[in-house]
Amino acid sequence: MVLLGICFLGVALIFSWQSEFFVNILAPGLADNIVTERAGLFSWVTWLIPLTVLAGATTAYLHSKNSFAVASLGTLIVNSSAIAGLLLVYYGHGSLYLVATFVLIGGALRLLSQLLVIDVNWMPISSIKPFLIKKDLYIRYFQAVFSSYPPSNCQLFFTV
């Protein structure tokens, strides 16, 4: 999950950094002033990418543990948040940046709701502990290396 989060955080950084380029690709023919305005919105919403990837990983984990309720409500959380932002804009209480903010809040709430259900180990060192080489392995390795030296089947002196 951490590796995926880091990779897609990089993708979000690239999309945010080159947002005008991606808006031109996704919406060709827009006027330059509209492209500049929409690029700001696009760069804001690209931060939903790592949140969605992390939520997908937690959804898969929850499904593997036969816990379906919270994982299935994730889409409802994001969509409800986006609709709330759209309703605020429709009734004249904000701009499209408010919708983008509500979408990001929905993505963060989805991930948070799933992380609260999972028993997360927040200690990174202890979470990789099963994969670390243990002291016993070092001792046995050196015992094996030094137990065959000098080779017992070779003669040290030759007689003629």
Phi, psi of 37 (to 5 degrees): -65, -45
- 2-11, 105-114, 133-142: segment of lowest average pLDDT: 133-142
Place of tokens 């898969």: 60
The candidate with the shortest Cα–Cα distance to 81, out of 56, 46, 108, is 108
Number of domains in the chain: 1
Q: How many CB atoms lie within 10 A of CB 87?
A: 12
Decide if 135 is inside a domain: no
Look up the domain containing 94 and give its range.
2-119
Decide if 25 is inside a domain: yes
Decide if 147 is inside a domain: no
Helix (DSSP H) and strand (DSSP E) numbers for the chain: 9, 0
Decide if 149 is inside a domain: no
Decide if 138 is inside a domain: no
User: Is 0.95 topped by the overall pTM?
Assistant: no
pLDDT in tens, 1-33: 889 999 999 999 999 999 999 999 988 888 888
The candidate with the shortest Cα–Cα distance to 45, out of 106, 4, 90, 92, is 106
Rounded to an integer, what distance in angstroms lies between the CA atom of residue 25 and that of residue 130? 46
pLDDT in tens, 95-105: 888 999 999 99
Q: What is the mean pLDDT of the chain?
A: 85
Bond preceding residue 150 cis, omega within 30 of 0: yes
DSSP 3-state assignment of 25?
A: helix
DSSP 3-state assignment of 144?
A: helix
